[in-house]
Amino acid sequence: MKRVAVVDIGSHTSLFAVVEGDGSGAFRVLLEAQATNCLGMSLGVDREIPPGVISKNIGIIQGFLRKARGLKAEKIAAVGTKVLRKATNAGDFIQAVRQELGVDLVIVSGDEEARLGYLGVRTGLGQSVGGVYLIDVGGGSTEVTIGQGELIKETYSLELGAVSLTQKYVHNDPVTQEEWGAMAEYIARWLKERLPPLDQDQFMLFGIGGTLCTLAALDLELTRFDYIRVDGHVLSQSRVNKFLETFKKNTSRLNRALLSFDPDRAGIILAGTTIWSEILKKLGSDKVIVSTRGVRHGVAWQYLNSDPGIKY
């Protein structure tokens, strides 16, 4: 059995997993971890990541590497997504990771991010699950992937992210109705133009990403995040909308208290939940199935199964 460790650097959170497999499709997650990286919020008008934030992220990745070595991972891979596609000094970040940690960090495109997320989610599904319509709402963008089994039919990357929309629209605490209304209108306009329809007879709607996993944990009334309980949870549209109304009324302090298992997400939870509320409305779906898997698991699957498309 081989062991692979993967770091997925997002706009708000860096995710980490150590996975074991034998190359024949077997896939077992040994460890999951995450840390708030502050990358998206650190970008100013020049779109540069400040040196202090780069140092903070080196420390985060270093902590992940210690866990990987402790579990005797044979391979360590690292991928960056929207925030590093956007940052003007992403090259400095990549160089720092290589020089200080000896890890080659690869920035993936939006379509590749969507593909990897789909592969990752499929690792947690049985063969009986056919058509999958997958949405990944992240901090800097939203990826959409439509597939049947291992065949990916369509991928899309939308300029809708919980961090970027918070920076653009939310300037008061709590948010004003005018601010929220402008944000919701912007999201709805993007989705009308870019989000493909969902054939609910052929495809099951799955969702991944920090916002949705947080909403599932709240729905389950968890006080500590539990990957096993959250994975596969069916979250209804009515509950998403109920949480949305709560976040709109709350101050950031109240939202931090509510999200006791992930208080650092409180500042962007309103934007992320608004995206999901508008998605479910646009698709005409009354529910979404939550998955805790994603890009990191897709990268691991490629390594373990010698996927010829591997680039990392």
Instruction: Give the pLDDT confidence score for residue 310 in this predicted structure.
Output: 52
Instruction: Give the pLDDT confidence score for residue 180 in this predicted structure.
Output: 98
Instruction: Give the pLDDT confidence score for residue 53 in this predicted structure.
Output: 98
Domains and CATH numbers, the chain: 2-110+295-304 (3.30.420.40), 126-290 (3.30.420.150)
What is the DSSP secondary-structure string of 242-275?
HHHHHHHHS-HHHHHHHTTTSGGGTTTHHHHHHH
Percent of the chain with pLDDT over 90: 91
Instruction: Give the global pTM.
Output: 0.95
- 60 HSE (CA, 13 A, CB side): 23
DSSP structural state of residue 224: S
Instruction: Give the pLDDT confidence score for residue 307 in this predicted structure.
Output: 62
Helices 110-122, 295-304: crossing angle, 10 deg rounding: 70
Instruction: Give the pLDDT confidence score for residue 130 in this predicted structure.
Output: 85
Report residues of the chain scoring pLDDT below 50.
308
Instruction: Give the pLDDT confidence score for residue 60 in this predicted structure.
Output: 98
Instruction: Give the pLDDT confidence score for residue 311 in this predicted structure.
Output: 58
Instruction: Give the pLDDT confidence score for residue 126 in this predicted structure.
Output: 75
Find tokens 């998955």 and name the residue: 291
Residue 27: phi and psi, rounded to 5, are: -155, 115
The helix, strand and coil proportions of the chain, stated in percent and rounded to the nearest 5, come to 45, 20, 30
Q: Which tokens belong to 177? A: 């109705």
Find tokens 């690292």 and name the residue: 78
Instruction: Give the pLDDT confidence score for residue 221 in this predicted structure.
Output: 97
Among candidate residues 267, 39, 37, 53, the one with its CA nearest the CA of residue 169: 267
